[in-house]
Structure 1
Amino acid sequence: MRAWAIIAGVVMIPGVAGAQQSSKDVLASFGMKIVEPMTAKELAATRVRVDAELARSGTAALFENVSDANGGRARHRASGLVCPLGKKGQRVLAASMDQASCETRDGSTVYKTKVERAPEGATLDTVAAKALTDAQKEPGYAASGGVSVTGHPRPGSGLPDHQTLRFLSRIDGHERASRLQIGVVRGWVLTERRETPNTNAQPSSMSEILSEATFGTSMTAQQ
Structure 2
Amino acid sequence: MSLNEIHTRIAAAEARAGRAPGSVRVIAVSKLQPLERVTAVLEQGHRVFGENRVQEAAGKWPELRERFDGVELHLIGPLQTNKARAAMELAQAIHSVDRPKLATTLARLADETGACPDLFIQVNTGEEAQKAGVLPDEADAFVKQVRDLGLPLRGLMCIPPVEEEPSLHFALLAKIAARNGLEGLSMGMSGDFETAIAQGATHVRVGSAIFGARDTG
State the TM-score, normalized to the length of structure 1.
0.31
More helix by share: 2
More strand by share: 1
State the TM-score, normalized to the length of structure 2.
0.32
Structure with the bigger RCO (C-alpha within 8 Å, sep 6+) is 2
Who wins on radius of gyration, i.e. which is larger? 1
